[in-house]
Amino acid sequence: MFEMRPYDNRRNHLGYYNPFRELENFEKDFFTNGFDIFSGNPAGFKTDIKDTGDAYVLEADMPGFDKKDIHLDINGNYLTVSAERRSECEQRDKDHNYVRRERSYGSYSRSFDISSVDTDGIKAKYENGVLTLTMPKKPEITGGTKRLEIE
């Protein structure tokens, strides 16, 4: 079975083949450096995945999020971690014109293939801006032989 790996839906197009798509994605990722060029906000959140032998441990940096704004959804063999941020900082002059206005709105989402994970045993914790998921592996199916009786 494939080990746990990130799933990027925007690069999984099966409908048509565009030989320049990967070059465009490379250019976009290179020049934006992981940031949304229009808002300056992070395009996603960074994750580390460790294999501890009997489980996977996923750590996602999600500073500034409230625990209630983070959602973990399992759909088939995919775990989707999504979050929405809403914060405002605004300064106005006496005529209510903007002197400085900083708003950070956005939703962030990442999906991961969890086909080798026992989904009933997943544990999640959010502490100090880091989401930690402990995901036990499914027991391995041994490749031993089995003899069938003929009736």
Per-position pLDDT tens, the chain of length 151: 455 655 555 555 555 667 677 667 666 655 444 444 443 444 568 899 999 999 999 999 988 788 999 999 999 999 999 998 766 655 666 666 656 655 566 778 889 999 999 999 999 999 999 999 999 999 877 677 778 889 8
Both tokens of 8, joined, read: 């990027």
Per-residue pLDDT, 39: 39
pLDDT at position 34, please? 47
Compute the distance between CA of residue 81 and CA of residue 65 in angstroms, rounded to an integer.
13
> What are the strands, taking DSSP E only, across 5-97?
5-7, 47-51, 55-61, 70-75, 78-92
